[in-house]
Structure 1
Amino acid sequence: MSIELLSLDNIQELAHTYGYWLVFLGIALENTGIPLPGETIIIVGGFLAGSGELNYWLVLVTAIAGAVLGDNLGYWLGKVSGWQAIVKLSKFFGIPTDKLEEAREKFSNNAAKAVFFGRFITILRIFAGPLAGIAQMPYRQFLLCNLGGAAVWALTIVSLSFFLGELVSLTEIITLVSKLSFGVLIIVAIAIGLPLAIKLRTDKLS
């Protein structure tokens, strides 16, 4: 099932033109409940930062800001509109109800973990905010999990694509990220990023 509205070619073209705005708006809209390929967008942003076209820190900050804003909008959308509104929204974008039910089940098992770690799972990244609102999750708890999850997710994916871009193609990075679990992604990001970061710092000092 494809729930992505933009192809990789579209994203690359838009990224060259709009840069940080694409990262911010693409991720914000996805986290609100619109099935845009937010993870691919952030990977492209990190990849372009690695090539020098964009700034690493600005990509990271705009990604976190977009994720936090989008999830907050999704939270209030879910809180005000309720479950049926989210079902109608998902149907409009061609997302089967069973997928949404699956996300709801995962969310109900542990709301805090779902909000924090859900960004690494496509369907939860899209609907964690609305589901938190529907479940009447305390806003302060939601906000803390949202901020923490956004920071960890953005830092992991942007860093991985930034450093890995020197070694493999963009398509290979996207495939790698889609296959690896959260824990493995963290380990890979550190294993690749730390030596390269040390090398870059050494080169600057020499």
Structure 2
Amino acid sequence: MSLDFISLENIQEIAHQYGYWAIFVGILLENLGIPLPGETVTLVGGFLAGNDELNYWLVVGDAATGAAIGGTCGYWIGRIGGWSLLMRLASLLRISEVKVLDIKEKFSDNAAKAVFFGRFFALLRIFAAPLAGIAGMPFAKFLLYNLLGAGAWASAMVSLAFFAGKVVSLEQLVQWVGQFAILALLILVALIAVPLWLESRQVEEITTEE
């Protein structure tokens, strides 16, 4: 999800004007929860590097640094005030504290995977770090997976645009990546929702039998 008025043309214009700063700030803000198209910003940076307008390694470094700093800020936001905010939200949605604690425990068991692989999913990229803070993931462990995830994501996205941008247009590349991101997000939601639904069904059946 991103701000509609920030088109690909706008991002290209800003990247041409501000270069590495545009990439760093754009990705930093997205990771802080502001709905900016971080993937598109990274692809534009990689595309410009492929055209020798920017340096490949500096673009990767900018993207990784912006993602890592944004994720770290998100972690501390979740660690300091995230739990109370989550409980207020749960209360509004009429979700019991027991259920929230159960979800928190399950997330804690998979926090490292969520922080690392969450980089490659649009919404999870924003929420994984605050959720890790809420779950009480040790900061040293979070920092390790946050840095690894940010580096892997930045390298993959910039490299994709750097090489693929030589044979396809940037517009087509952004469209393909966007379509893949939606499909990946739907698969992720299904992988999370289906087991939870099956588990709730089993609990209902056991309760009915008793």
Q: TM-score range by the shorter chain?
A: 0.7 to 0.9
Aligned 8 A contact 2:29 2:36 in 1:
yes
Identity %: 57
Matched residue, 1:3: 2
Aligned-partner residue type, residue 73 of structure 1: C
Matched residue, 2:159: 159
Aligned length: 167
Matched residue, 1:143: 143
Give, in angstroms, the shift of residue 176 of structure 1.
2.2
Distance 1:83 1:174 in 2: 36
Equivalences for 1:106-125 in 2 at 5 Å? 107=107, 110-125=110-125
Aligned 8 A contact 1:35 1:126 in 2:
no
> Deviation above 4 Å: which 4+ runs of structure 1?
83-88, 104-109
TM-score when normalising by structure 1? 0.73
Equivalences for 1:193-204 in 2 at 5 Å? none
Distance 1:44 1:87 in 2: 39
Distance 1:3 1:108 in 2: 28
Structure 2 CA distance for partners of 1:165 and 1:114, relative to 1, 3 Å: same
Gaps of 5+ in 1: 89-100, 185-206
More divergent stretch after superposition (68-77 vs 7-16): 7-16
Aligned 8 A contact 2:108 2:132 in 1:
no
Structure 2 CA distance for partners of 1:43 and 1:73, relative to 1, 3 Å: same
> Whose Rg is larger?
2
Gaps of 5+ in 2: 89-99, 185-210
Distance 1:86 1:48 in 2: 40
Cα deviation code 1:150-198 (max 9, x no counterpart): 11111111001001111001111112223447xx9xxxxxxxxxxxxxx
Give, in angstroms, the shift of residue 109 of structure 1.
6.2
Structure 2 CA distance for partners of 1:132 and 1:59, relative to 1, 3 Å: same
SS of residue in 1 equivalent to 2:166: coil
More divergent stretch after superposition (64-73 vs 106-115): 106-115
Equivalences for 1:36-51 in 2 at 5 Å? 36-51=36-51
Q: CA RMSD in A?
A: 2.5
